[in-house]
Structure 1
């Protein structure tokens, strides 16, 4: 068993303990509605506000199948070299525009890039591939709307969706210029490697991961589905520059 007390530094432990005080390790045993309420409260407690010079607009992208809410972050000192399409985490069942509001504002402030946050549809109300479809539609909208290159950025579940879109758009006339994947969920064999060694890791256990996967798919076996598990791809050529 991994000794996390010696592996993890004191500052990180303090963050873990603070997070657990708002979002307990057994939260997946609650109803989806209760989990969302707990998660939203935690995000409000961590909210750091907007940096000076950042303004926002909340609107939506119209598609044939859904209206996708988005939030656009602009900086007073605009850097037009690129724009960022941000996709939030939350196990595909939690989160939205408000959960990562200050994260996107900070990203906009530090880079100067315009940032567009995507409020994709969540499971279990909308099973896979609904979230993927929404993020793909948002990318296609951004590629048409912005003259500058489009950068994908997402954390956890959002990292999964960004990677899946990057794989799916390699032949796009304006494919992503890059992707930043923050602790992304990319797939892999749950019976091997770090899935076993860190099955009981703080803040995200293997049990958590398998719970979210079951909710996202409705319990359907989607082995080999690249829009679900980008690591299942046999070809990693022509992907954009990637930061993990």
Structure 2
């Protein structure tokens, strides 16, 4: 794959800086070391919160959350962070959540779900589900799910489980999510050695979630394993083109549309997994973050702006 041609200079600068802070062999390190260097990397890229955004830490049914507000919001974004189900937390995505709050005007509730390998599947899903119930009880209906990478997986699992249990969801915006697609074909092979995330990295992070073989036909683990994609909220999927997990989002879109639902896939050329951190330094990432914010805001207002 000719990444020198596909990826522009701004993005290469971001890749280089990230690699200096979080090396390619991070998965060979201990879990504690992975978390330490990931947190250090996140701090290096962290942008100041907009002045008019306030936040507070709280407990949502026993799950730690961080709540961002700007004004008097009428909608809530439930946000699940990425990090391979292993790293990350409220601080690693703090600026992203603050900026989503600022750009949409919505309340953002970030979920500090339990991490693997100490807490195996379905712990992360259970925490997100608990927070959704708390959000509905505390703030009412009108929730948009949003998450990146592993967090997108968790949000999708919540959406699948929510059918017939709550009508609080207005939509979901899933950013370079991993949904359990076939790792022996498509983008998993085409971009097996992509910058920032490789096929082997994906396998590592999926395998660490369980003590045994990955479960089959469990949409809470891998949403693409579901047999029924009807009744899901309107869904916008955003991917990086140079990313092994790219085709999971395409396939997820196709399954939703095939079962009569609304879904739209935005594939960002020249971008790589984890590009949300590049939104202040890479023009393509900045434009994509704007599209993400617009999608969240529109779904919160019941607007479907896509015609697939």
TM bin (shorter chain): over 0.9
Corresponding residue number in structure 1 for 2:120: 127
- 1:1-244 matched pairs, under 5 angstroms: 2-62=1-61, 67-75=62-70, 77-80=71-74, 82-244=75-237
Please, what TM-score do these two structures have when normalized by structure 1? Answer: 0.94
Aligned-pair distance for 1:148?
Answer: 4.2
Report which stretch shifted further, 3-12 or 85-94.
3-12
Secondary structure of 1:217's aligned partner: coil
Aligned residues: 237
Contact 1:92-1:212 within 8 A present in 2 as well: yes
Aligned-pair distance for 1:147?
Answer: 2.4
Aligned-pair distance for 1:93?
Answer: 0.5
Secondary structure of 2:66's aligned partner: strand
Structure 1: runs of 5+ lacking an equivalent: none
Secondary structure of 1:132's aligned partner: helix
Please, what TM-score do these two structures have when normalized by structure 2? Answer: 0.75
Secondary structure of 1:73's aligned partner: strand
Aligned-pair distance for 1:223?
Answer: 2.1
Q: Per-residue CA shift, 1:4-55, capped at 9, x if unaligned?
A: 1111122211111111111111110111000000000001111101101111
Q: Per-residue CA shift, 1:120-172, capped at 9, x if unaligned?
A: 00011100000011111111111222124011000000000001110111212
Contact 1:143-1:174 within 8 A present in 2 as well: no
Contact 1:68-1:134 within 8 A present in 2 as well: yes
Q: Which runs of 4+ in 1 moved over 6 A?
A: none
Could you say what the CA RMSD is over the residues aligned between the two structures, in angstroms?
Answer: 1.1
Q: Per-residue CA shift, 1:75-114, capped at 9, x if unaligned?
A: 1x3331x110110000001011111111111111111111
Counterpart-to-counterpart distance in 1, 2:209 and 2:166: 30
